[in-house]
Amino acid sequence: MVLPLLWIVLTAFKERNEVFSLVPQWLPARPTFNNFLGVLDAMPFWRYYWNTLVVAFGLLAIQLMTITLAAYAFARMEFWGRDVLFILLLVQLMIAPQSTVIQNYLTLSGLGLLDTRLGIMAPYLASAFGTFLLRQTFKSIPKELEEAASLDGCGGFRFLAHIAVPLAVPGYLAFALVSLTYHWNEFFWPLVITETSKARTLTLGLGIFAQTAEGSADWTMLMAATLMVIAVPVLCFLIFQRRFINSFMQSGLGG
Amino acid sequence: MNRTVEPGVSAGVLVKEGEIRVRERVWTRRRVLAAARPYLYILPTFFFLSIFTHYPILKTFHLSLFKWNLATPKREFVGLANYLQVWSTPLFWQVLQNNVVFALGTVPLTLALALALALLINQKIRGLAIYRALLFYPTMIPMAAAAMIWLWILTPNYGLLNYYGRWLGLPDIHWLGHSRLALWALVLVGVWKRLGYYMVIFLAGLQVIPEHLNEAAIIEGASPWHRFWRVTFPLLSPTTFFVAIMAVIDSFQAIDQVYLMTAGGPGNATNLFIFYIYQNAFRFFDFGYASAVSGILFLILLALTVLAFRMLHRRVHYA
Amino acid sequence: MRGKAWILALLLVAVAAPTWAATEIKFYYPVHLTGPLVKEIEAIVADFHKANPNIRVEPVWGGTYPENMQKTVAALQAGSPPDIAVHLAVDLVTLRDLDAVIPLDEFVQREGGEKFLADFFPGFVSDIKGDGKIWAVPFQRSTPILYFNKDLFRKAGLDPNKPPTTWDELLATAQKATLRDASGKVITWGLTIPDDIWLVMSFILQNGGRTSSPDFKKVYLGEKPAIEAVQFWVDMANKHKVMPRHRTFPVSVQDFAAGNTAMLIHSTGNLRFVRDSAKFEWGTAFLPKNKRQAVAIGGAGFYIFKKASKEKQEAAWQFAKFATSPEIQARWNIGSGYIATRRSAFDLPLMKDYTGKLPQALVARDQLPYALPEMSTHDNWKMRNIFVTTFQEILDEKYTSEEGMKKAQAEIEKVLAPYQK
């Protein structure tokens, strides 16, 4: 499992023609940083990086708001049609944006949001997954707590904001990690919706780079680019291992 | 006189209808607000959901009833003609077959390996965290990056895989250029990518199994194999089936690796559903046809989801 | 005081405005080598700005040819197409079907009409004409050429200065140049040709066949010369085993640069990559002939879009004229390997110096008299996709050449049916 990772790390430091030997040399003969420099030359790496940060975190910020409200309603409120609406919500879990690509593309085109970061975020602003996860969390808050708070004058929205949300932090964390990972790594939807490097994200930048002559013929540069793209997720993962794994575990059990 | 109290019970006194009539407005307004509140809460979510999930599904079916391509740049209503065209296009059936094979290849393999690894790792061994991390990290990287890594490893002549293959006496294989093997190369990449994630799901599931059940089985002299099939697996099975269905749904929506590693080739051997839709919509500019194929995909996903929910119910009952 | 400051500001703005009122045009272009080639384009744009301070070009890299096309179509749908873009000559049909571009005859007439066109190589002008009008200005054109590894030739006992000139010689050379080890496994291939329709087309033409009709409505894949050409290719891969199957366009260049194949048939547009990577002596030659010497022209030119205002169209023409001038074409040729589209470019001292040092660069130009337009029909990308996937299936021996080509012919005819008016 670790072999592929090791192999590409080593390849990224080799000179271009070194990799063409029939017997793989594991260690680079003359380690060089040129490939990394070449990548920065061949694509607007930092712009992609910034775009990805904006998309991932901006999206998360909006998602936190939409899922909090929706999850709370589904978890703790009674209203007519609740179950039917909940099923409608879950539709999003089974239809990934790759399937609705054509129409979403046409919609965003009509709204003038093609090739924008907001366009990349659009289909995900509502998150069935997040709502589902958070609903579980909210559901587990004892009713007595809510009633007591209500008597103290902290009912309804204030209860949500001041008590329920802080109690649900583990759920938020789990969702945040899964959402950030997913959107940092997304390729296909940004491919369809962006046209230039204006809004392009990092992963997509890597994919497009691979289709160019440098990317497809120059393995060492491609591996360097790959390394630069996965560096952040992998490093974050190594530091916050337990949290990440727990988050994904929760997502599997909850979903 | 008008009393500023809520209707119902207040300080033990029943407020009669007539006494709160002037306050009726406040009462009603507050009640309306209270009734509307849940809907207001779910409004943002459903606003975006309806535009970007529900509407596209409906509109896709609508679009699929039109001819809209380079020959007919202005949409023309043609009823079910696109669906008939899909039916009579051999390539569509090949794509369907490819995707089914891909699902059948990826899912059982991934789950079996993930379960096996989870069982292994569930022992209290040293360095557990390291093994878990090493197995899980592929989940953290983009599929696009995994595609790059495996493109490199699968290269003929100087790719790692072929080197070790030659070592074992096998001929040099151009995996991604081989019409029969290319799809399996994609399966390999898919399995590698998701293994850690499913392993972790199974780990969580295993840890919920009460220890005493296992101990009871040991006392009764059951072998590890027996213990697995009689105790562990049945308790795990609803999770397993549910996860399996979700994995199948995922494999019908696989695209990144297809786009980046094979572009559907050679000779459409690795052309999967989403790629086929993408090709028809964004390369051939045939939106009507592509929408029809999308519609069919939705129906397949719907069927699978219904199946998944049946499994979910079973799981709830088990718990 | 505040009020006066505002008036002053407004006055300054009014004075400065004319210089701001530079015409801005958006320019989509595809290049496959992002590092150096994007820089070349940006240098061309920068030089254009110096010479034309009242026009600002915004260059947008659109990816590969199909991706760039997709972006243009997407932009067209959204109602905001580019003002000028580089697209394949074969995309002309699609762009006209979408009523997206304007004919350039007026502009050409202004520059001297026939005299202006005469400086372009005739092959490059032949395929951007439609209905008697001119629709594009040739910018990055190429033909396939034969690259060969002189060191490997020597090793195989072949004369490094005598590349094959006919199909028979090609096969014989490839057979001699294919090195196998004791167990029969191939160490170096004699020849590599990627699965690209553009190259298959050339073989069909060399066999005296034809590919598509000038009115873009028919294809001739089921005819004997086409089937024979495909058979020859398939035999080299499957019967004589001198060629690997299914190498992609970029991987095959890599193979050649790495010394894994003695010969390569590929675009002259990769000359720069080979020049920069090959650590052996290499040469270039015409593609071998069979019934005739022939090669399909590839590449792209500038299209100007209908939706742009008259002012922007004019600005776009200025840019196109600049970028296809002999000096700029010479630079572009040297930087990329694409053939300079202007005859006079080759007389410039810059070019003479370059080709003196790298004579391989002249082969593509010298082959031009034998160049014929590329296969092109309505719904071009769909047609190509059917052709290439069927071709790959023939290579995989799923069908014989005859079965496969006839199947492709039938399927393409179905696609072209709506256009038979």
- The 10s digit of each residue's pLDDT in B260-319 is 988 887 889 999 999 999 999 988 989 999 999 999 999 998 888 887 777 666 655 444
Specify the range with the lowest mean pLDDT, choosing from A51-65, A200-214, B301-315.
Answer: B301-315
Prior bond to B38 cis, omega within 30? no
Q: Sorting pLDDT into bands at 50, 70 and 90, what band is C11?
A: low
The predicted structure's pLDDT at residue B12: 41
* CA–CA separation, C269 and C300 (whole Å): 12
In this prediction, residue B295 carries a pLDDT of 93
C35 touches chain A (CB under 8 A): yes
CB C41 within 8 A of CB C31: yes
Q: Which CATH superfamily hosts domain A2-253?
A: MetI-like (1.10.3720.10)
Give the C-alpha separation, B89 to A3, whole Å: 43
Distance from CA of A18 to the nearest CA of C (A): 9
Q: Residue A123 has what pLDDT?
A: 92
CB C281 within 8 A of CB C265: no
Q: What is the per-residue pLDDT for C252?
A: 87
Q: Are the C-beta atoms of residues A29 and A21 closer than 8 Å to each other?
A: no
**Are C32 and C108 part of one and the same domain?**
yes
Does C394 lie in the same domain as C263? yes
DSSP label at residue B16: P
Contacting residues of B for C392, CB less than 8 Å apart: 179, 265-267
Residues 6+ apart with CB under 8 A from A252: B197, B198, B200, B201, B204, B243
* % of chain B residues with pLDDT over 70: 87
Q: What is the pLDDT of residue C5?
A: 65
Find the domain containing C65 and state its range: 20-143+298-372
Find the CB nearest B141 among A191, A230, A241.
Answer: A230
Rounded Cα gap, residues B30 and B7, in angstroms: 12
Q: Residue B139 in contact with residue B194, Cβ under 8 Å?
A: yes
Domain assignment present for residue C24? The answer is yes
Q: Are C55 and C138 found together in one domain? A: yes
Q: How far is A212 from chain C (nearest CA, A)?
A: 5
Same domain, C285 and C150: yes
Q: CA-to-CA distance for A176 and A173, rounded, in angstroms? A: 5
Q: Which of B32, B43, B53 to mutate to test the interface with A (most CBs of A within 10 A)?
A: B53
Residues 254-313 of B with CB under 8 A from A: 255-256, 259-260, 274, 277-278, 281-282, 287, 290-291, 294, 297-298, 301-302, 304-305, 308
DSSP annotation of B172 reads P
Residue C364 inside a domain? The answer is yes
Q: How many domains does chain C have?
A: 2
A–C CB contacts, 8 A cutoff, strictly below: 66
At residue B252, the 3 state secondary structure works out as coil
Residue of B nearest to A245 (CA): B200
**Of residues A22, A107, A131, nearest to B45 (C-beta):** A131
CB-CB: which of B73, B267, B286 is closest to C393? Answer: B267
One domain, residues C195 and C60: no
The confidence score (pLDDT) of residue C20 equals: 56
- In this predicted model, what pLDDT tens digit does every residue of C224-283 receive, in sequence order? 999 999 999 999 999 999 998 888 888 888 889 888 899 999 998 888 888 888 889 999
Query: Could you report the per-residue pLDDT of C311-364, keeping only the tens digit for each?
Result: 999 999 999 999 999 999 999 998 888 899 999 999 999 999 998 888 888 898
Residue type, C387: F
Same domain, C216 and C251: yes
Task: Please give, rounded to a whole number of angstroms, the shortest distance from the CA of B222 to a CA of chain A.
Answer: 29
CA distance B71 to chain A (A): 19
C153 with C229, same domain: the answer is yes
Domain containing residue C78: CATH number: 3.40.190.10
With a cut of 70, which residues of chain B have pLDDT below it?
Answer: 1-27, 124-125, 230, 238, 311-319
By Cβ distance, the residue of A1, A7, A125 closest to B135 is A1
Token pair, residue B178, equals 């081989």
CA distance A22 to A11: 14
Q: Are B175 and B181 in contact (CB under 8 A)?
A: yes
Confidence of residue A252 (pLDDT cuts 50, 70, 90): low
Question: Tell me, what's the pLDDT at A237?
Answer: 84
Chain C residues close to B284, C-beta within 8 Å: 379, 381-382, 385
| Per-residue tokens: B196 | 């850690």
CB atoms within 10 A of CB B74: 7
Residue type, C157: G
Kindly state the tokens that stand for C135: 């629709």
Tokens 């640069």 label which residue? Answer: C257
Q: How many CA atoms lie within 13 A of C374 on its CB side?
A: 26
Which of the four pLDDT bands, split at 50, 70 and 90, describes residue A99?
A: confident
Chain centre to alpha carbon of residue C99: 23
Q: Which of B42, B51, B137 sits opposite A69 (nearest CB)?
A: B42
Residue A109: list chain C partners with CB under 8 A: 74, 77-78
What's the pLDDT score for residue A102?
86
For chain C, give the secondary structure using H, E and C: CHHHHHHHHHHHHHHHHHHHCCEEEEEEECCCCHHHHHHHHHHHHHHHHHHCCCEEEEEEECCCHHHHHHHHHHHHHHCCCCCEEEEEHHHHHHHHHCCCECCCHHHHHHHCCHHHHHCECHHHHHCCEECCEECCEEEEEECEEEEEEHHHHHHCCCCCCCCCCEHHHHHHHHHHHCEECCCCCEEEEEEECCCCHHHHHHHHHHCCCCCECCCCCCECCCCHHHHHHHHHHHHHHHCCCCCCCCCCHHHHHHHHHCCCEEEEEEEHHHHHHHHHHCCCCEEEECCCECCCCCEECEEEEEEEECCCCHHHHHHHHHHHHHHCCHHHHHHHHHHHCCECCEHHHHHCHHHHHHHHHCHHHHHHHHCHHHEECCCCCCCHHHHHHHHHHHHHHHHCCCCCHHHHHHHHHHHHHHHHHHHCC
Q: Is the pLDDT of residue A66 over 80?
A: yes
Residue A107 with chain B: CB contacts under 8 Å: 51-52, 55-56
Q: pLDDT category, A21, cuts 50, 70, 90? A: low
Residues C361 and C408 in one domain: no
Looking only at the bridges linking them, the beta strands covering C298-304 and B13-14 are: unpaired
Q: Please tell me the distance from the alpha carbon of residue B253 to that of residue B258, in angstroms, as a whole number.
A: 11
When mean pLDDT is compared across B286-295, C9-18, C24-33, C219-228, the lowest value belongs to: C9-18
The phi, psi pair for C179, rounded to 5°, reads: -100, 130
CB distance A119 to A105 below 8 Å: no
**Dist CA B314 CA C16 (whole Å):** 75
Cβ atoms of C395 and C247 closer than 8 Å: no
Closest listed residue to residue C25, CA positions, set C218, C308, C415: C308
Q: What are phi and psi of B166, to 5 degrees?
A: -65, -40
- CA C152 – CA B130 distance, rounded (Å): 49
State the pLDDT at residue C314: 93
pLDDT of residue B104: 93
C291: left (phi over 0), alpha (psi -120 to 50) or beta: alpha
**Same domain membership, residue C360 and residue C272:** no
For residues A197-224, give the mean pLDDT. Answer: 82
Whether the CB of B157 is below 8 Å from some CB of chain A: the reply is yes
Question: Which residues in chain C have Cβ-Cβ distances shorter than 8 Å to A209?
Answer: 34
Q: Which residues of B touch C244 (CB under 8 A)?
A: 156, 174, 177
| Both tokens assigned to B191 | 């399995």
State how far the Cα of B250 lies from the Cα of B187, in Å rounded to an integer.
Answer: 13
Q: Which residues of B touch A113 (CB under 8 A)?
A: none
Q: Which residues of C touch B68 (CB under 8 A)?
A: none
DSSP assigned state of B171: P
Beta bridge partners of C58: C26
CB within 8 Å: B70 and C260: no
As given in the structure block, the two tokens for residue A230 are: 């996965």
A contacts of C68 (beta carbons < 8 Å)? none
Assess if residue C404 is contained within a domain. Answer: yes
Rounded Cα distance between B82 and B241, Å, is: 35
Q: Please, what is the average pLDDT of chain C?
A: 89
The whole-angstrom separation of Cα A186 and Cα A193 is 12
| Exposure letters C129-155 (e unless 16+ CB within 10 A, then b) | bbeeebbbbbbbbbbbbbbbbbebbee
Of B273, B250, B269, which Cα lies nearest the Cα of B110? B250
| Mean of pLDDT values over C149-170 | 92
Where does the pLDDT of residue A216 fall: very low under 50, low under 70, confident under 90, or very high at 90 and above? low
Cα B257 to Cα B143, B151, B183, B260, C197, distances in angstroms = 7, 10, 11, 5, 24
Phi-psi region of C294 (alpha: psi -120 to 50; beta: other; left: phi over 0): beta
Instruction: Say what the pLDDT of residue C2 is.
Output: 62
Residue A159's pLDDT is what?
A: 79
Provide the 8-state DSSP code for A124.
Answer: G
Which tops the pLDDT comparison, C2 or C195?
A: C195
Same domain flag for C211 and C182 = yes
Amino acid at residue number A122:
A
Q: What is the pLDDT of residue C57?
A: 93
Helix, strand, coil fractions of chain A, as percent rounded to 5:
75, 0, 25
Distance from CA of A107 to the nearest CA of C (A): 10
Is there a single domain that holds both residue C123 and residue C194?
no
The complex's ipTM works out to: 0.86
Are C273 and A217 within 8 A, CB to CB? yes
Residue C403 lies in a domain: yes
CA–CA min distance B175, chain C (Å): 10
pLDDT at A22: 62
Residues of B in contact with C382 (CB under 8 A): 283-284, 286
pLDDT (tens digit per residue) in A139-193: 888 888 888 887 777 777 777 788 888 888 888 888 898 899 899 999 999 988 8
Provide, as residue numbers in chain C, all residues whose Cβ is less than 8 Å from the Cβ of B95. none
If asked whether residues C78 and C130 sit together in one domain, one would say yes
- CB contact (8 A) between residue B174 and residue C246: yes
Q: What is the pLDDT of residues C114-125, one digit of tens each?
A: 888 899 998 888
What lies within 8 Å, CB to CB, of C363 at 6+ separation is C145, C268, C284, C285, C286
* CB atoms C390 and B267 under 8 Å: yes
Residues in B closer than 8 angstroms to A6, CB to CB, are none
Percent of chain C scored above 70 by pLDDT? 94
What is the C-alpha to C-alpha distance for residues B169 and B162, in angstroms, rounded to an integer? Answer: 10
Q: Is the dihedral of CA B265, B269, B272, B276 positive or negative?
A: positive
Q: Confidence band (pLDDT; 50, 70, 90) for C386?
A: very high
| C neighbours by CB contacts (3+ pairs under 8 Å) | A, B
Cβ–Cβ below 8 Å for C34 and A43: yes
CB neighbours of A100 closer than 8 A, spacing ≥ 6?
Answer: A123, B52, B53, B56, B57, B60, B294
Q: Do the chains contact at C78 and A197, CB–CB below 8 Å?
A: no
B6-10, C109-113, C175-179, C400-404: segment of lowest average pLDDT: B6-10
C-alpha A232/C-alpha C412 separation (Å) is: 47
C419, amino acid identity: Y
Question: Counting one residue from B and one from C, how many pairs have CB atoms under 8 Å apart?
Answer: 73
Q: How far A7 CA sits from the closest chain C CA (Å)?
A: 20
Subunit contact B267:C70, Cβ cutoff 8 A: no
